[in-house]
Structure 1
Amino acid sequence: MSEILHDIEFRDVSKHYGSVCAVDGVSFSVRRGSFHSFLGGSGCGKTTSLRMIAGFEQPTRGSVLVGGRDMAGVPAHQRPVNMVFQSYALFPHLSVLDNVAYGLRYRQPRPERAQERRMAEQALEMVRLSGFGQRKPHELSGGQQQRVALARALVNQPTVLLLDEPLSALDRKLRKEMQSELLRLQREVGITFVLVTHDQEEALSMSDSISVMQNGRILQNASPQELYEQPANRFIADFIGEANLIDGHIDRRDGTQIVLRTEAGLELAARCGQHAGELNPGCAASIAVRPEQVSISAANCQAERPFCLTGQVVDRIFLGHQIEYRVQTQALGVICARVPQTEGGAFGHGCAVRVAWDPVHSLALGA
């Protein structure tokens, strides 16, 4: 029997609610033991996809496989998955230990009570809450409640752990701490984690792979680095991180490089990425330049990069180790540059400056 390489697989899956198509012909797979995220705005289909894995929804068309097994007709409580909800859904009248042990009573065969207690205590130890078992949920902080919800989901040793925006209710510092905890847990237990989030930073920092969704479809399924460096289209370049996006039409193409002509008649060169197969002369296209690839200098300085523009600083944002400048240019509107503090502390609001970048750091994209 061949080894199962993917814990989750969608095969041409669609989900309709009456005339509304929430998920539209989605096919993808999640490698066993990896951390995968569904990323997108509200209504993109990410939560519906998660609920079809959990068994709370059934696909209108297509197949959902978990652990290599088709889940058609398999109810939620019989699937090898557990879910951590956004609201935690802890029982307020039960102790922390009893909350964690609750799901064990539905296992077949059900463990003896002493074994249930040992398993629940081990799960609490896994999330670093040893000694908290006799407390009630209201006696815990938000981060501790989140850990209890994780322990309750992990105690059954599922094949897949589903996470429905579990960190959205936490403050920024606690959210960062819990991101590290989730990564540590995923590595220690070695099971597949699937996260639903609208937070790009959260998905980029935690995931082995990400499915970017829009209007019920997966626009790109790739690693965080590939999504950032090789976005498939303009939407993804804009959604993942921040980018200066310049629109126009392709004037000419020479192998791996295009020349884009803006409405104002300015010609800009850019490299063609992995997804530039349809970018031919006459096509509408965009060029994406990440802010960290843009340099800034005084207007009277000689530019060291092939392409440069003069403009005026309209905003200066202190980011700690970096400073972000927004520069109003006549030819391309506002250009964002993000530079180390040691290089960019001299320009205040209204300063005349020069922004520049190398075409090798700009990427040609389709619509």
Structure 2
Amino acid sequence: MSTVSFRGVSKHYGPTVALDGLDLEVREGEFVSLLGPSGSGKSTTLNLLAGLLDADAGEIRIGATDVTLLPPERRDVAMVFQNYALYPHLTVFENIAFPLEVRRPRPDAATIREKVERVAGLLGIAALLARYPKEISGGQQQRVALGRAMVRDPKVFLLDEPLSNLDARLRIRMRRDLKALHQALGSTIVYVTHDQSEAMTLSSRIAVFDHGRLQQYAPPAEIYDRPANAFVANFVGDRETNFLDGALEGTDGELAFVTALGRIPLGRRGSALPSRAGLRLGARPEAIGVEPAAGAELRVALAELSGADLFLTVQGRDNTEVVARADPRAVRLEPGATVRLRFDPTRLHLFDAESGAAVSHGS
């Protein structure tokens, strides 16, 4: 395993900026997810690291070696693709062994068998070694692809959305297995995904990209609780963040944010904020409580039951809406019910309305 370093790395396709001046450091043994929507720069970053693309500017290092101009085969990285890329005419054993078979000098047959069986045992596919890819499930094929990468003992593993072809239940199970495998191996892993749940579950740190630029690079809890800007706050989470326009009220005393849905106490003093003008309030659904209130001005426009959670779209008289998360065993509300909202000040964020940059986070 090894460290990975991007220093001022850029990639352009004509006038289109695919990656703009990326500075990123991956520590030895870390599991780092590159997260973002399509076209954000995450796959470009992975392909630059693999040597499948050439950088227009900057430097890429794996350990102490500058690999910016090295071909893929000299970078000592192993890549697992979205479609697994298994050879259909080879058995599971032969697929896993393939990187060793083509290595020069080629290891002896006993060494190859020992390595393949060790990796297969770690992945729980030792009983499948004589089968062909078409004879095993999608989750098992994914493990074979991982085994083919692991058998090489590379410096860095590169995983390009390896779970996206699996069904939802199997994806969750494979996330758990991937995390356990990383803990067992201690390998450096760079993982591309557009699924924020995968990134939050698996990662030591997450790099969030948008329009070719790194927006935030931090541990999952910090990404979630202290987003660097409105984009990160909205992208990371099961549901979109609620954003409300309004104005601060209060000076040296307790501050509140006055919106079309009412006055929202912020639980912080005026001196705690570096900026007072042009702000937007950000609140995730779990930061908003809902309780019935006869004759209130707010009403439930939509109720969505999602297993253990009830998501309520609450609407004000001017059609301003927020989505709140509730416990369906404790709250029974139907569309049309009038309600009162309670905002948790420890989970509220303030952003600059123009730039989107975070100004303040709840405690």
For normalisation by structure 1, the TM-score amounts to 0.88
SS of the residue aligned with 2:127? coil
Cα distance in 2 between the residues matched to 1:149 and 1:317: 39
Cα distance in 2 between the residues matched to 1:322 and 1:239: 20
Cα distance in 1 between the residues matched to 2:47 and 2:130: 32
Cα distance in 2 between the residues matched to 1:358 and 1:187: 35
Shift of 1:333: 1.4
Partner of 2:244: 246
* 1:184 equivalent among 177, 180, 185: 180
* 1:298 equivalent among 286, 292, 308: 292
The question of whether the paired residues in 1 share the 8 Å contact of 2:261 and 2:320 is answered with no
2:87 maps to 1:91: yes
Q: Which runs of 5+ in 2 are unaligned?
A: 357-363
Partner of 2:59: 63
1:280 counterpart letter in structure 2: S
Partner of 1:305: none
Alignment of 1:261-300 (within 5 A): 262=259, 268-270=264-266, 280-282=275-277, 284-300=278-294
How many pairs align?
Answer: 348
**Alpha carbons of 1:316 and 1:182: their partners in 2 closer, same or farther (altered >3 Å)?**
same
Partner of 2:309: 322
Shift of 1:176: 0.6
Partner of 1:306: none
Cα distance in 2 between the residues matched to 1:142 and 1:265: 48
The question of whether the paired residues in 2 share the 8 Å contact of 1:165 and 1:197 is answered with yes
The question of whether the paired residues in 2 share the 8 Å contact of 1:13 and 1:24 is answered with yes
Percent identity, aligned pairs only, is 39
Partner of 2:336: 350
1:227 counterpart letter in structure 2: I
The question of whether the paired residues in 2 share the 8 Å contact of 1:271 and 1:363 is answered with no
Cα distance in 1 between the residues matched to 2:347 and 2:252: 17
2:333 counterpart letter in structure 1: F
2:9 maps to 1:13: yes
Shift of 1:297: 1.0
For normalisation by structure 2, the TM-score amounts to 0.89
2:301 counterpart letter in structure 1: V
1:158 counterpart letter in structure 2: P
Q: Pairwise CA RMSD of aligned residues?
A: 2.4
2:334 maps to 1:334: no
Cα distance in 2 between the residues matched to 1:253 and 1:19: 47
SS of the residue aligned with 2:26? strand
**Alpha carbons of 1:265 and 1:351: their partners in 2 closer, same or farther (altered >3 Å)?**
closer
**Alpha carbons of 1:116 and 1:218: their partners in 2 closer, same or farther (altered >3 Å)?**
same
Shift of 1:64: 0.8
Partner of 2:137: 141
Shift of 1:201: 1.0
* 1:40 equivalent among 36, 42, 66: 36
